[in-house]
Amino acid sequence: MAGSASILERVAARQWKLPSLPDAPALAQESIRAAKTVYAGAHETPLQPADWLSEACGAFVLLKLENKQATGSFKVRGATHKVLSMSREQLDRGLVTSSSGNHAAAVLHACRSAFLRAGGPEMRPRIFLPQTVSKGKMDSLEQQGADLQLHGTDCIQAETAARAAAEEGGLEYISPYNDLQVAGGQGTIALELMAALPREQLDTVLVPVGGGGLISGIAACLKSADPSIKIIGCQPSASNIMAQSIVAGHVVDAASHDTLSDGTAGGVEPDSITYAACQEYVDEWVSVDEPEIAEAMLQTRHNTHMQIEGAAGVAVASCLKIGKRLQGQHVVIIICGGNVTDTTYSKAEELLAAHHLPAA
């Protein structure tokens, strides 16, 4: 596990120009602060070359393997920073959160980290999930003793119910994305990219997007260091509400349909800080359909022997979709998580068969 100081020292050693705290955007400032907390519950994840994608795109493509993260997802970064930034009084009041699965597991993990760090009674957060959450994720949370409540059919409905429960009970609500400390924690991925790569080896970053916490933190950090780095937001066509919102100029209330990318499905809260960050920092939006996601998941498994979530498949599929425009560039794809069941991969294979496409 990398120490917090070593990340920032390595960023400086690579001669990246991080702005000083008073001058940096709020999200970038929060990511720098988060470098002092996230590694109590998270760890630095590897970069792995993706030769098959490099060949397909004529670029040099690396995968940032957040599927190798504690809890199997990037979400543990933001959750750890949020929980460890709270006072003992806030923690004692109790915590409520909402999630499609990964953020819930991350909050549970962060609460255990806080308990081990500070002592006192171990916290058991109350977790709201949409009724569409995958069985695998729900089973995993139940095995960890989570206090689960199912509400609604998508993330935004679960979030609304969770916020109401927190307000009614005087509890602390931890948003999966609409929170400065959560999004700032996710931005430590950008710091790790800068610590690992010299400036001339980072041109474009493709990031899966649901509520926007991951891309907001990463983009704010990277754009603060070098505005010429291109940030591409990747969404499933079945649930690309953030991209629709950016086009509309306001957060839209649009339908979200079934998708292999359940981790990015659902709406965006109207006042979300991530909407403004996406407006300011994201250069391009790419939407991919379900066969493209399925093919990307299966190709990744075939070429890396790793199973990745549909949300990560969205970013891989987006790279393949726009590949020729990336020619000659140094590209990083954020593999946001690996908490996926064999059943989901069977669905991906069936989907490709239904479209008369060969599975990898």
Confidence band, pLDDT 50/70/90 cuts, at residue 132: confident
pLDDT at 3: 47
pLDDT at 119: 64
Average pLDDT over residues 34-53: 96
Question: Which of 163-177, 184-198, 318-332 bottoms out in mean pLDDT, i.e. has the lowest?
Answer: 163-177
Give the whole-number percent of the chain exceeding pLDDT 90.
72
More confidently predicted of 269 and 326: 326
Question: Which of 114-118, 154-158, 300-304, 333-337 bottoms out in mean pLDDT, i.e. has the lowest?
Answer: 114-118
pLDDT at 118: 63
Confidence band, pLDDT 50/70/90 cuts, at residue 4: very low
Average pLDDT over residues 106-125: 79
pLDDT at 55: 97
pLDDT at 121: 63
Average pLDDT over residues 11-32: 86
**Most confident among 89-98, 121-130, 215-224, 253-262 (mean pLDDT):** 215-224
Average pLDDT over residues 142-161: 85
Question: Which of 41-50, 129-138, 156-165 bottoms out in mean pLDDT, i.e. has the lowest?
Answer: 129-138
Average pLDDT value for the chain: 91
Question: Which of 118-122, 285-289, 304-308 bottoms out in mean pLDDT, i.e. has the lowest?
Answer: 118-122
Question: Does residue 222 surpass a pLDDT of 70?
Answer: yes
Question: Does residue 256 surpass a pLDDT of 50?
Answer: yes
pLDDT at 88: 84
Task: Give the 3-state DSSP-derived string for the chain, with helices as H, strands as E and coil as C.
Answer: CCCHHHHHHHHHHCCCCCCCCCCCCHHHHHHHHHCCCHHHCCCCCCEEECHHHHHHHCCEEEEEEHHHCHHHECHHHHHHHHHHCCCHHHHHHCEEEECCCHHHHHHHHHHHHHHHHHCCCCCCCEEEECCCCCHHHHHHHHHCCCEEEECCCCHHHHHHHHHHHHHHHCCEEECCCCCHHHHHHHCHHHHHHHHHCCHHHCCEEEEECCCCHHHHHHHHHHHHHCCCCEEEEEEEHHHCHHHHHHHHCCCCCCCCCCCCCHHHCCCCCCCCHHHHHHHHHCCEEEEECHHHHHHHHHHHHHHHCCCCCHHHHHHHHHHHHCHHHHCCCEEEEEECECCCCHHHHHHHHHHHHHCCCCCC
**Most confident among 122-126, 330-334, 347-351 (mean pLDDT):** 330-334
